[in-house]
Amino acid sequence: MNILVSACLLGLNTRFDGGSKIIHGIEELKKKYNLIPVCPEVLGGLPTPREPAEIIGDRVINKAGKDVSQNFIKGAEETLFLAKLFNCKYALLKERSPSCGFGQVYDGSFTGKLTHGNGITAELLRQNGIIIFGESEIDKLLKRP
């Protein structure tokens, strides 16, 4: 079975700061699923490294004040395209990101505060029936029959 995985969780240096957020359990996950790496922000045309961005209302604004909503929307659409192409029913996504976060995201103040909500990509995937797990929930994917 194919599953989508946020590229930074696999160790790809796609984060805004040029780093990654590799997690434990990827080797186990690889034994069970075919992992399809995606980075919506890069797929949306943003460079790495880049200014951090947060969701403010219905827009995504970076720390320099630039509206990057169109990049985030394009990245979400490209990610959905890959999810459909590879018939992914599940996604393991980076928590709290304005693209990949699910359930909680940063609140737009760039102070590290969280608020209820989904990243732009996570929300589009959810609307299309893909079941989303955050990285702290990797065990749920590993334990699935």
Task: Using CB under 6 A, list all residues that contact ligand SF4.
Answer: 6-8, 14-15, 39-41, 94, 97, 99-100
Taking the complex as a whole, the smallest distance from the CB of residue 4 to ligand SF4 amounts, in Å, to 10
Give the chain's count of helices (H) and strands (E): 5, 8
* Between 41 and 54, CB nearer to ligand SF4: 41
Contact between 15 and 96 under an 8 Å Cβ cutoff? The reply is no
Nearest-5° angle of CA 141, CA 42, CA 58?
A: 85
Taking the complex as a whole, the smallest distance from the CB of residue 80 to ligand SF4 amounts, in Å, to 14
Per DSSP, the three-state class of 6 is strand
* Between 22 and 145, CB nearer to ligand SF4: 22
* Between 13 and 56, CB nearer to ligand SF4: 13
